Amino acid sequence: MRFQLRDQAGASRAVAYLLMGAGPFMFLTGVVLPATRTVTGVSVFGLLTVVLGLAGAVCRWRPERVPKIMWLLAPFFGVLLVTVLNLATSDASTGAQFFYLWPVLYAANFLGRAANYLVLAFVSGGSAATVFPIEGAGAGVSDWASLTVAMILTAIVVSSLRLRNERLRDVLETQAYADPLTGVANRRSFDDLLSRAVAWANRGGETIALMTIDIDYFKKINDTWGHAVGDQALQAVADALRQVARREDDVVGRLGGDEFVVLLRTDRMGARRAADDIRAVLATVDTLPGGPPGLSIGVALLPDHADTAADLGAASDAALYAAKQGGRGRTAMAHPNGQSLALG
């Protein structure tokens, strides 16, 4: 979304530091430094100092109490605050205009492209509203144009760096949660997704199926054709699993070696059809010198065979063992009593 807030925690800290810094600065420029003071002026600036400090403290330590829309409006408030302060102190110097950098950096870091454009427009307008009345049109146009260009360039650089960091983070997350050879979920990722799926199923009374899959005689493939062909066999199996488990909530994982797992939000018949479909897809593979590998598959369902993630995994493993004991190349379904039935 164009106006989506990317990092509320970071945004709340940025707003908090602005407000808590603006309070003392306002007190310094409005109460301490002026050569002439009035009771009204001192009272106004003193009150604003307290209000800004308290607002900053809320943003820093109680951000959940702040309406979410305020994080989107924060840079516009920042532009307004800087403009009012500059006009109140009749200061159009470079140092005073420099404070417009905050809303530009905030928008570039936390908001989308459209919001960035709007903030830059507000900054340019705020600068014009300050420099033209104070410096006049002749001298003010140069300062206004310089600040506008500088802020645009700053926004471009910061936005580019943010996008680069986001892409790098996505790559690191993929590497942390995906098996490097096959691209499917690794054990760490799959265990987390399985726990969430079990919680979802128990909460709503739904059924999920866990399939544990081994490649038959995988060691023989490696010994006969070499590990490169063994890797190709693993990739072929992973591709077949992905083709069958292609719905949004389906998950394919590799637990290590030649052991794969598939998590499906389906019932007993759906799991059985999925096992048959996997074999059918894998049978079309013609790139391996020894032909497509055979599979032994164990299936367990929640709540039929287990009510926890650990028990579901154990039931699926037991069914896989039954499939192997039955002659390999078979699918076995777990039973509630702990035994498993080979289905062929």
Tell me, what's the pLDDT at 157?
93
Residues 158-166, mean pLDDT to the nearest whole number = 89
The answer to whether 287 touches 231, Cβ cutoff 8 Å, is no
Residues 93-119, mean pLDDT to the nearest whole number = 90
Q: Is 91 labeled as catalytic in the residue annotation?
A: no
The answer to whether 332 touches 340, Cβ cutoff 8 Å, is yes
Continuous segment of H or E residues that includes residue 226:
none
Please report which confidence band the pLDDT of residue 126 belongs to, taking 50, 70 and 90 as the band edges: very high
Residue environment code for 193-207, b if the CB has 16+ CB neighbours within 10 A, otherwise e: bbeebbeebeeeeeb
Please report which confidence band the pLDDT of residue 1 belongs to, taking 50, 70 and 90 as the band edges: very low
Q: Rounded to whole angstroms, how far apart are CA atoms 250 and 312? A: 16
Catalytic annotation, pick one of 7, 258, 267, 304: 258
CATH at 274: 3.30.70.270
Q: What pLDDT, in 10s, does the model give residues 11-56? A: 888 888 888 887 887 788 777 877 788 888 788 888 888 888 898 8
Q: Is the peptide bond before 63 cis (omega within 30 degrees of 0)?
A: no
How many angstroms from the chain centroid is the CA of residue 26? 38
DSSP 8-state secondary structure symbol assigned to residue 331? E
Task: Give the range among 17-21, 73-77, 139-143, 200-204 with minimum mean pLDDT.
Answer: 17-21
The answer to whether 246 touches 277, Cβ cutoff 8 Å, is no
Q: How many independent structural domains does the chain possess? A: 2
Task: Please tell me whether residues 52 and 132 are part of one structural domain.
Answer: yes
Task: Please tell me whether residues 212 and 290 are part of one structural domain.
Answer: yes
**The total number of residues written for the chain in this structure:** 344
The answer to whether 197 touches 144, Cβ cutoff 8 Å, is no
The answer to whether 208 touches 197, Cβ cutoff 8 Å, is yes
Please report which confidence band the pLDDT of residue 344 belongs to, taking 50, 70 and 90 as the band edges: low
Non-local (6+) Cβ contacts of 231 within 8 A are: 181
Task: Please tell me whether residues 198 and 113 are part of one structural domain.
Answer: no
Task: Kindly state whether residue 3 falls inside one of the protein's structural domains.
Answer: no
Q: What pLDDT, in 10s, does the model give residues 272-297? A: 999 999 999 999 999 999 899 999 99
The answer to whether 210 touches 300, Cβ cutoff 8 Å, is yes
Task: Please tell me whether residues 103 and 230 are part of one structural domain.
Answer: no
Q: Rounded to whole angstroms, how far apart are CA atoms 308 and 310? A: 5
Task: Retrieve residue 261's tokens.
Answer: 């797992």
Tell me, what's the pLDDT at 272?
93
Task: Please tell me whether residues 160 and 73 are part of one structural domain.
Answer: yes
Amino acid at 231: D
Q: What pLDDT, in 10s, does the model give residues 51-71? A: 888 988 998 899 889 888 899
Beta strands in 216-286 (DSSP E): 251-256, 259-264
Task: Please tell me whether residues 153 and 192 are part of one structural domain.
Answer: no
Q: Which of 177, 202, 225 is the last residue of a domain?
A: 177
Task: Please tell me whether residues 75 and 216 are part of one structural domain.
Answer: no
Report the percent of the chain where pLDDT is more than 70. Answer: 96
Task: Please tell me whether residues 131 and 243 are part of one structural domain.
Answer: no
The whole domain housing 255 covers 187-342
